[in-house]
Structure 1
Amino acid sequence: MRAIWCGFALGVIVLQRQAALPGRGAWVGLVLATVLAAAWAVWALGAAAPADDSHEAARRVSGLFYGRRWRMASGWAAVWLAAGCAGFGYAAWRAETRLAEALPSAWQTRDLHVTGYLSSLPSYGANGASFLFRVESWEANKEARQAATRLPQLIQLSWVAREAPLPPLMPGARWRFAVRLKRPHGNGNFGLRDTEAALLARGVRATGYVSDPEHAVRLSVDASGIGVRIERARATLRTRIDAVLGDAPHRGVVIALATGAQDAVSDADWRLMRNTGTSHLVAISGLHLAFVAGLAGWVAGALWRRARWRGVEAPLLVPAQKVAVAGALLAAGVYAALAGFNVPVQRALWMLAVVALALFAGREVARSHVLAWALGLVLLREPWAVTAAGFWLSFCAVGAILFAASGVPRLHRDAPQDFSADDIDPMRDRVEPTAEPATRVGWLRRLVPMAFPRGGWRGAIRRIASRLGDSARVQWAVTLALAPLTACWFAQIPLIGPFANAFAIPWVSMFVTPLVIGSAALPAPIDAFTLRAAHTCFDWLAISLSTLGSLPWAVLRVPQPGAWPLACAAVGVAWWLAPRGWPLRWLAPFTWLPLLVPAPTGPPPGSFRLTALDIGQGTSVLVETARHRLLFDAGPGPESTQAGERIVVPYLQAHGIGRLDTLMISHDDSDHSGGAQAVLDAVDVGAFVAGVLPTHPLWASARANGAQTVQCAAGQRWQWDGVDFEVLWPDPGPLTGKPNAHCCVLRMTTAARAARETQAGAVSALIAADIEAGVERTLIARDPARLRAQVLVVPHHGSRTSSTEPFLDSVWPLVAIFQVGYLNRFHHPHAGVYARYAPRPIVLARSDADGAARVEARPGALAVERFRDTQRRYWMEPPTQD
C-alpha cells in the first residue's frame, strides 16, 4: 500500500502543476496507461514470486534469477505508474467538477440578490467581517439556466461596517443579501503563494461583499446539519473567549488553540513565532490532537477497567485497550471537527483511525503504512492540499521522525545488569496486575515510577538520559527535515527554532493547551479562570521567546530556493538522518551549499531587471542591477488592501532582498505610499527618496530606521553597476499643487559604454507614477528625446487624464505595463486610453489579467515575462492576448 498511495500522491502533485486540465484524448491515454500498467504489475509481481530455494543455484546459472529481479523491479515501477495515473485522473475529475461552477462574467459588474446561510465561523477584522456563504437561491436563476451555467454554491463574502455596527453573525443563520461578486482572483507574483488555489481548495467559486448592508434581511428559520452545529459550537466557544479575555494581547492565540481560527492572532505574535520557528504551536496540529486523544483514551480505559456489567468485569467483555482506543478516536474526531479539520489534524486523525482499525482487526501495521494511508486519505478528501505549506510541513515532519527512529536500536543484548525487564519492554508504561500489597510505597511507585526506580538510581538516570536523548534526536530530525521546506515557503530558516521548541513544545502541551481545552468543557464562571491561566502561561512563554528572537543570529533569511537547491537539500536531509554507519555521512552538509549560499541572482553589470508587482490597484516596481536594489512605491497600506505587508515585503524576502539601496515613494496617494511603512519596518533602507510633503510621517520613520532622506527632484542622477538613473520630475523646490502634479518620474538606461562596445542600442525604462496630461506636456516641451524608453510603466494606471498621444509618440515604448486592480472601481485602464496603446507595436501587460510583469533589459536586448504566461495553472483565467 505504501507504493500505491505514494504513487497516487505523485499523480495528484503533477496535476496541480498543469496549465490546463486533460482533454478527451488525454483522458483516453490516461485510462489506457492505468490499465496496462496495472496489468503489467499483476503479471510481473506474480511471475517474480519466490520459488523453491533448492533450485537457486540453477536459476543463477541460467540467468532466471536476474530475470526475476528485473520483473520485480518492473512490476513495482508499473505499480507506481498505475497509481500515479489514477491519482492524476482522480484529481483532474475533482477539478473539473469544482470548476464547473462559475459566475457568469456579465454578473461581475452588477448587484445580485442571494439567499442562503453562513456556513463558517466569521473572521473579524478592523473594518468588518468575512465569512463563507452557502447559496440556496439566486435572483437570476432563470437567466443562468438559459445560459446553461452552473452557479457557485459557496461564495466568500465580506461585510464592511460603515455607519452601523455589524449584526450578530452566527453560522447557520439564513440571510437575504444584495451582493457584488467577482470570480475567484488572486494576485499573481513570482515566488508567492497563489490565493486562487486556496480558494479552489475551499470550494469558493466567487468572492465579493454585501453591497447594501442596510437592507440585508435576516430570515426566521436557520439552517441545520452536522456542519452547521459544529460551526455554531466553534462560534459559541469563541464568544466565550472574547467575553473573558477582551483585548488581552494573546487572545488570538487562545482562540486559535480552541477553535483553529487564526484571524485574531496579532501581527506581533505571528512575527515572534515565525522568527523563533514556533508558528506550529498556534495551529491545532497533530501534537494537540494526540494530546486530546491520549487523555481521552486514558480516561476511557481507566473507567472501563473499573466497570462491571451484571457482576461481570467489563474488560472480560471487551478488552480495555480497545475501549481506550475507541475513546481516543472519538475524542480526536470531535476535536478535529472543532479545529476546522485542517490538513495536519486530518493527517493525525487518519493515522489514529488506521491504528485503531488494525487493533480492532487484530493485525499489526507498520508505521510507514500508517503514514501512507493517512497520505492517501487526506488527498482523497482534498486533492488541493498539496498546494499548501501545512501539507508538506506536517507529513515531512512525521516522515522525518519515523525515518530517524528507524535506525535507532531500542533493545540491546548487552543491556546493563541493573535494568529490569520493564526498562527494556516497549510496553513498560502499561499497567500490569501485581500481587504486591497496596502499601504506601507501592501505590506511590506505581503513580510516580521515577520516584522509586526498580533498577536503582543509576537506572533511573540512564532512562532519563535515554528519553532526553530520544527527544533531542526527534527535535533534531524535525528541524533538519523542515529547514528546506521553511526556506521554500517562508524564505527563512529559524536557527533558534530547536532551542525555542525544546521548551515551547512541552510548555504549550502541558500547560497552555490543557487549560484551553479544559475551558471548553467547564461551565461559567469556572472557565474564565482556566482561560486567564492559559493566557498567562502563554504570556510567560512569549517573554522567553522574545529574548531568544532578539538574538542577532536567530533567523537566517535565504532566497526562495529553486528545484535544484531544494532537491540537493532533501538528499542531504535523508543522508544526515540515515542510520548510524551509513557511508560518507560527513559529505551530507555539502549538499546544503546551494540552499545556504545561493548563486547571485542579479542581472549582469550594465543591465537591469524591472519587476512590476501585482498588488491590485496601486504601484510597486522593483528595479535590480548587479549589486543594487531600488523599490519605486510600495502599494496600498492598512487603509486598503495592505499590499505592502501582504505582497511587497514577502516578495522582497522571497527573493533574498534584505536591503534596499533606495526606497522611492513618488507621492502621497495611499495606493503608492501606504505600504512604505511596512517596507521600512521589514528591510534595511539606505536612502529614502520621496515626493511627499516635509510634514509626512514617513520622513521621521525613515530617519529612525537609519536611512538617508532626500526629496526627489528633476536633475538627480546616479549610476549603479553601469546603469544610469535620472529623476525627470518634479522640479526642485517646495512641492505645490495636488500630489499627482509633483510625483516622482524615474528613468533608467543600460550602460551606454557597453552598448557602444557591442554595437547594440541602449535600453531605457520610464516609471511615470501618476503624472497627468499637464506634466506630460511639460516634459515633452523640455526634452522629448529624454522621454524615449523601450519600457513604460503606464502613467496613472491608464487613467483618461494621462497617456496623451504626444506623450506616447515621444516615449514610443515597446513594452507597456498597466498596474491596475481586478475589476477596480476606477475602471482603470480607461477604454479610450487602452485603445491608444493597442494599435501600436507594443507588448501590453496588465496586472489584473497577467499578474506581475518582469522585464530583463540589457544593451540591445529586451525580454518580457508575464506571470500568468509562464506560471499558469489550470484554475486561472486565460491570459490576455496581444
Structure 2
Amino acid sequence: MRAVWCGFALGVIWLQRQAALPDAGGWWALILVGCTAAGVAVWGLRGDGTGVAYQHEYEQRLSNRLARRVRRDARMRRVAGWGAVWCAAICVGFGYAALRAQTRLAASLPHEWEGRDIEVVGTIKGLPTRDDKGARFLFDVETNDARLAAFPRVIQLAWIARDAPAPRLEPGERWRLTVRLKRPHGNANFGVPDAEASLLARNVRATGYVSVPDHAQRLAGPAHGFAVLVDRWRAALRARIDTVLADAPHRGIVVALAIGAQDQLSRADWQLMRETGTSHLVAISGLHIGFVAGLTGWLAAAIWRRSGWLGRNWPLRLPAQLVGVTAGAIFAALHAALAGFNVPAQRALWMAALVALAFVGGRQLARSTVLAWALGLVLLVDPWAVVSAGFWLSFCAVGAILFAMSGRPRVRGPQTSRQHEDGEGGAAQPRWLALRPVLIRHLRALAERLRSAAHVQIAVTVALAPLTANWFAQIPLVGPLANAFAIPWVSALVTPAVLAGVALPAPLDAFAWRAAHTLLDGLAAGLQLVSGPRWTLWWLPQPHAWALAAAAVGVLWCLAPRGWPLRWAAPLTWLPMLMPSANGALAEPSGAFRLTALDVGQGSSVLVQTAHHALLFDAGPGPESTHAGERVVVPFLQAQGVTTLDTLMISHADSDHAGGAPAVLDAIEVRQLVAGLAPDNSLWPQAKQHGTRTLPCVAGQRWQWDGVEFAVLWPDAGALTGKANEHCCVLRVSTLSATNAGHAAALAGANAPRVAALLSADIEAPTERALLARDRKILRAQVLMVPHHGSKTSSTEPFLDSIDPSIALFQVGYENRFHHPNAGVFARYVARHIELARSDRDGAVRVDVDPGARGEEGAVLTLERYRDMHRRYWMEP
C-alpha cells in the first residue's frame, strides 16, 4: 500500500501543476494508460511471495543456467509489476484530482454578474475576523435572487465599517445580505504564493463585500451540524481569551495555540519567529497534537491501571494500553478540530488513528506505512493541500525524522539487577557505592537521548532548509539553536497551559492563560537574544526547480545511515541553491536591464535591475488598502534575492503608490530614498530611522549603473503645490548598445542610440504637455508604464506619438472601482499596434532589455507574462 498511496500522491501533485484540465481525449488516454498499467501489475505480481518452496524445488530440477534465467525473468517481472503499480496509482490520483477540480470549478460566478447587487441568503462559515475597518468572513450560500443554478456555494465577503461598525457575526448565523461579487482573483507574481490557489482550496468561488449594510437582516433558525458546533466552540474560546488577555502583546499566540487561528498574531511576533525559524510553533501542528495526545494516553492508562484504588478492576476487563491508545486518538481528533483541521493537524490525526487501529487489531505497522497512509488520506480529503507550504513542511519533516533514525538503535531505560545493587556474590555494599553504577547508566541513557534529539533536530533542519528557501526565501541560521529551546518550552509548558485554560471553567481559565502568556514572554526574550545579528537570517532567492531537486538529493545523501559512501560530499549538491548572484542582480552583461511590473492590484510598483544594482519605483498599496507592500512587494523582492535596494523611488504621496513603502523599509535594506513627497510627509523620518539617505525627486537628476542611465524628467525644483499627480516623479531608464556601454562620455550623449523605458507614475495631460514642450526626443522609449493606470486624464495622442512605445504596461486592479483602464484610452494603444500587458489579466510582467551589439536595431526586448509562464487550470483563460 505504500507504493499505491505514494503514486496516488504523485498523481495529485501532477494535476495541480497543469495549465488545463484534461479534455475528452486526455481522459481516454488516462483511462487507457491506467488500465494497461493495472493489467501489467496483475501479471507482474501474480504469485509474488507465494509458492516459494515449490519454486525452490522446481529450480533444483533445472540446470544452473536455466535456473539463473528463471530467476532473472522473475526479477524483471516483479520490477515491471511494481513499476506498473506506480503508474496505475499515478493515473488514479491524477484522475481523482481532476474530477474534484472539475466539480469545484463548475460553480462559478458569470462575468456578467460581476459588480452587480445580488441578494443572497446563507450562513456564516468558519471564524469571522474583525479589525478597525470591519469584518471578513466566509458565507455559505443557500439561495440567490439571480436564480443562477451554478452559483458559488462559498463566497468570501467583507463587511466594511462606514457610518456604523460591522455587527458581531457568529458562526452558523443565517443572514440575508445584498452583496457585490467578482470571480476569485488574486495577485499573480513571480516567487509569491498563488492567492487563487488558496481560494480554490477553500472552495471560495467568488469574493466581494456587503454593498447595502442597512438592508442586512439576521434570520431565525441558525445552521446546525458538527462543523458549525466546532466553529462555535472555537469562537467562544477566542472570545474568552480576548476577555482575559485583552491587549496583551502575545495574545495572538495564545489564540493560535488554542484554536489554530493566526489572524490575531502581532507583526512583531511574526517577524521574531520568522527570523528564528520558530513560526511553526504558533500553529496547532502535528508536534503539538502528538505530544498532547501521547500525554493524554499515558494519563488515561495510568488512571485505568490504578482503578483498584476505587474498588474497581477495570484492567481485568479492558487492557490499560488499549484505553491509553484510544484516549490519545480521541484527544488528537478533538485537538485537530480545534485547529480547524489544517494539513499538519490532519496528518497527525490520521497517523494517530492508524496506530490506534493497528494496536486494537493486534497488528504492528511500519512507520513508513503509517506515513504513506496519512499522505494518501490527506490528499483524498483535500487534493489541494499540496499548494500549501504546511503540507510539504509537515510531511517532509516527519519523513526526514523516520529516514534519519532508520537503523539507529532505540534507547532503552537503564536496567538494574539485584546483583548490581547488592554487589557480586550478594555481599552488601554501602548505599552510595551501590547507586554509583545506576547513576552512571542513567547519565549515559540521558546523554544518548540528548544525542538522539540533537540528531533529529539537525535532520529536520537540513531536510526543511531547501523547502524554507523555496517557500519563504530564507534560511534562519539560528533555527536549530532557537528550536532546541523553543520546541520543548512551547510543547511541554506553553501548550499544556493553554489547553488547561480551554478545559477549565471561568475564572480558573484566566490563571492558565495568563501563565501561558508569562511563559511566552520568556520565550520571546530568549528568541530576542539569538535573533539580534543580521547574519542570523540568510536570505536566498527562490531556487529553480533543478536546484531544488539537486538539494533534495543532497538531503537524502546527507541523512543516509552511517556507512553510506561519500556523505561528506552531500553539501556540494546545495551549491546551485546557495550561490545566487549578488543582490539578486541579473546574470547579464553591462548595458542590459530588467523591468518587472508587479501585480499589486490597483496600484503601482516596478523593480528595475541592472547587472549589480536594483531600484524600486513605488511600493504599492499599504495597510490602508490591501497591504500589498507587505503581502506582495516584500515577498517578491526576497524571492528574487534582492536584500538591498540601491534606491527606493516613491513617485508621489497617493497611497496606492507610497502605502507599501514602510513595509519595504522595515524588511529590505534601502540605501537611498528619492521621493516626490512634501517635507512634512511621515515617510522621510521613517527612512532616516533606518539609516537611509533621503533626497527629493527633482528633474535633472542623473546617474549610471552598469552601463544603464537613470534620468529624472519631472517634477521641477521648488515647492510641491497642487494635486499629488501634478508633481509625480517621472523616471527614464535607458541604455546604450554594448559597443558603447563602457564609455562614460557616450552615456551622456543625448543623441546616442538608446533602448529606454519610461516610468510615468500618475502624470496627467498638463504634465504630458509640459514634457513635450521641453524635449520630445528624450521621451522616446520602447517600454512605457502607462500614465495614471490608463485613466482618461492621461495618455494624450501627442504624448503617445512622441514616445512611440513597442510595449505598454498597464498596472490596474481586477474589476477596480475606477474602471481603469478607460476604454477610449485603451483603444488608442490598440490602434497603434502596441504590445499590451495588463496586471489584472496577465499578472506581473517582466521585460528584459538587451541593447545588442548594433545599436537600437540590434536591441532585444523580451516580454514575459506571469499567467502565461505559470498558468494553472484554475486561472482565468
When normalised by structure 2's length, the TM-score is: 0.93
Report how far residue 706 of structure 1 moved: 2.0
- State the partner residue of 1:863: 862
Deviation at 1:296, TM superposition (A): 2.4
Deviation per CA, 1:771-829: give whole Å up to 9, x if none.
10111111112111111111100000000000011111111111110000111111100
1: CA distance, partners of 2:806 / 2:544? 30
Looking at structure 2, the residues matched to 178 and 132 of structure 1 have their Cα atoms a distance apart, in angstroms, of 15
CA distance in 2, matches of 1:737, 1:853: 32
Alignment of 1:101 onto 2:104: no
Given the alignment of the two structures, is residue 637 of structure 1 paired with residue 622 of structure 2, yes or no?
A: yes
Q: 2: CA distance between counterparts of 1:735 and 1:407?
A: 72
List structure 1 segments (4+ residues) > 6 angstroms apart after TM superposition: 308-312, 755-758
1:122 aligned partner: 128
Partner residue in 1 for 2:463: 481
Task: State the match for 1:242 in structure 2.
Answer: 242
1:693 aligns with 2:692: no
Hey, what's the Cα distance between the residues in 2 that align with 1:801 and 1:531?
57
What secondary structure is seen at the aligned counterpart in 2 of 1:69? helix
Map Cα deviations across residues 533-565 of structure 1 (whole Å, 9 max, x no partner).
110101111011011111332111111111111
CA distance in 1, matches of 2:310, 2:277: 54
Q: Secondary structure at the match of 2:5?
A: helix
The CA deviation at 1:39 is 0.8
For residues 237 and 310 of structure 2, the distance between their equivalents in structure 1, rounded to whole angstroms, comes to: 40
- 1:14 and 2:2 correspond: no
Q: Distance in 2 between matches of 1:421 and 1:485?
A: 49
Structure 1 pair 454–208 and aligned structure 2 pair: CA distance change class (3 A): farther
Are 2:593 and 1:608 equivalent residues in the alignment? yes
Which of residues 684, 687, 704 in structure 2 aligns to 1:702? 687
Match of 2:229 in 1: 229
Deviations 1:742-777 (A, max 9, x none): 10111111224537999x963211111001011111
The amino acid that maps onto 1:744 is C
1:457 matched to 2:456? The reply is no
Mapping 1:273-292, distance limit 5 Å: 273-292=273-292
The offset of 1:631, in angstroms, is 0.4
Residue in 1 that maps onto 2:643: 658
When residues 102 and 735 of structure 1 are mapped into structure 2, their CA distance, relative to the original with a 3 A threshold, is same
Supply the AA of the counterpart residue of 1:683.
I
Q: Which residue of structure 1 aligns with residue 796 of structure 2?
A: 804
Distance 1:689 1:628 in 2: 15
Aligned length: 839
Candidates 665, 670, 681, aligned match of 2:666: 681
Residue of structure 2 in register with 1:573 after alignment: 555
* Cα pair 1:420 1:454 within 8 Å, conserved: no
How big is the shift at 1:62? Answer: 4.8
Partner Cα distance (2:512, 2:300) in 1: 23
- Matched residue type, 2:501: S
Pick closer, same or farther for the CA change 1:453–1:833 going to 2, 3 Å: farther
After TM superposition, give the deviation of residue 138 of structure 1 in Å.
0.5
Which residue of 2 is the match for residue 334 of structure 1?
Answer: 334
Q: Distance in 1 between matches of 2:444 and 2:68?
A: 55
Taking a change above 3 Å as real, the CA distance of residues 62 and 717 of structure 1, as seen in their structure-2 partners, is same
Superposed CA offset, 1:650-672 (max 9, x none): 11111110101111111111111
Quickly say closer, same or farther: Cα 1:337–1:753, change in 2 above 3 A. closer
Q: How does 1:171-182 map to 2 (within 5 A)?
A: 171-182=171-182
Inter-partner Cα distance in structure 2 for 1:453 and 1:322: 35
**Preserved contact between residue 154 and residue 203 of structure 2 (Cα < 8 Å):** yes
Indicate whether 1:52 and 2:55 are aligned: yes
Does the 8 Å contact 2:474/2:538 carry over to 1?
yes
SS in 1 for 2:204: coil
- Measured after TM superposition, the shift of residue 277 of structure 1 is 0.6
Question: CA 1:473 to 1:629, structure 2 compared with 1: closer, same or farther past 3 Å?
Answer: same
Cα distance change, pair 523–604 in 1 and its aligned pair in 2 (3 A): same
Using the TM superposition, name which of 598-607 and 679-688 deviates more: 598-607
- Select which of 46, 69, 89 maps to 2:95: 89
Q: CA deviation at 1:53?
A: 3.2
Once the two structures are superposed, the pairs formed by residues 138-177 of structure 1 within 5 Å of their partners are 138-141=144-147, 144-145=148-149, 150-177=150-177
Query: Are the equivalent residues in 1 in contact too, given 2:590–2:741 (CA < 8 A)?
Result: no
- 2:517 matches 1:535: yes
Supply the AA of the counterpart residue of 1:109.
Answer: G
Once the two structures are TM-superposed, the CA of residue 455 in structure 1 deviates from its matched residue by 5.6
Residue matched to 2:392 = 392
Which residue is 1:445 aligned to?
A: none
Q: CA deviation at 1:510?
A: 1.4
The answer (yes or no) to whether the contact 1:519–1:527 under 8 Å persists in 2 is: yes
Other-structure match for 1:853 = 845
Distance 1:362 1:421, change over 3 A: farther
Structure 1 gap ranges (5+): 423-451
Shift of the 571–421 alpha-carbon distance from structure 1 to 2, 3 Å rule, reads farther
Give the whole-Å Cα distance in 2 for the aligned partners of 1:302 and 1:709. Answer: 67
CA deviations over 1:819-874 (Å, ceiling 9, x no partner) = 00111111100111111111222111110111000000111100100111111100
Preserved CA contact (<8 Å) 1:124 1:263: no
Q: Quick one: distance in 1 between partners of 2:56 and 2:417?
A: 39
Q: Structure 1's 420 and 40: CA in aligned 2 closer, same or farther, altered over 3 A?
A: farther
Partner of 2:370: 370
Aligned 8 A contact 2:707 2:741 in 1: no
Cα distance in structure 2, aligned partners of 1:828 and 1:129: 27
Contact 2:191/2:635 (<8 A) preserved: no
1:273-297 residue CA offsets vs partner (Å, 9 max, x unmatched): 0000100111001111112312321
Contact 1:481 1:573 in 2 (8 A): yes
Match of 1:195 in 2: 195
SS of the residue corresponding to residue 764 of structure 1 reads: strand
Structure 1 equivalent of residue 80 of structure 2: 74
Tell me, yes or no, if the aligned pair for 2:649 and 2:675 is still in contact at 8 Å. yes
Q: Deviations over 1:227-272 (max 9, x none)?
A: 1111000000000000000000000000000000000000100000
Give the Å deviation of 1:94. 0.4
CA distance in 2, matches of 1:331, 1:512: 18
Aligned equivalents of 1:852 and 1:453: distance in 2?
A: 71
Q: 2:484 aligns with which of 479, 483, 502?
A: 502
Q: 1 CA distance for matches of 2:157 and 2:436? A: 63
Structure 1 residue 317, shift from structure 2 partner = 2.4
Contact between 2:736 and 2:753, CA under 8 Å: does it hold in 1? no
Distance across 2 between alignment mates of 1:410 and 1:60: 45
TM-score w.r.t. the length of structure 1 is: 0.92
What is the SS of the residue equivalent to 2:340? Answer: coil
Aligned partner of 1:791 in structure 2 is: 783
Matched, 1:739 2:745: no
Displacement of 1:125 in angstroms is 2.7
**Cross-structure match for 1:587:** 569
| Equivalent-residue separation in structure 1 for 2:639 and 2:439 (angstroms) | 52
Inter-partner Cα distance in structure 2 for 1:754 and 1:669 = 41
Residue 844 in structure 1 maps to residue 826 in structure 2: no
Q: 1:625 deviation in Å?
A: 0.3
Pair 1:756–1:163, CA change in 2 (3 A): closer
8 Å Cα contact 2:591-2:741 kept in structure 1: no
**Identical amino acids, percent of aligned pairs:** 62
Report the aligned-residue RMSD.
2.1
Distance 1:333 1:706, change over 3 A: same
Tell me the CA shift for residue 211 of structure 1: 1.3
Whether contact under 8 Å (1:420, 1:455) holds in the other structure is: no
Instruction: Measure, in 1, the Cα distance between the counterparts of 2:310 and 2:581.
Output: 76
In structure 2, the residue corresponding to 1:653 is in which secondary structure?
helix
| C-alpha distance after superposition, 1:436-466 (max 9, x if no partner) | xxxxxxxxxxxxxxxx979611101101101
Report SS of the residue matched to 1:119. strand
Q: Is 2:31 aligned against 1:31?
A: yes
Amino acid paired to 2:578: L
Unaligned runs of 5+ in 2: 419-433, 744-751, 852-858
Letter in 2 for 1:482: L
* Cα distance, 1:506 vs structure 2: 0.8
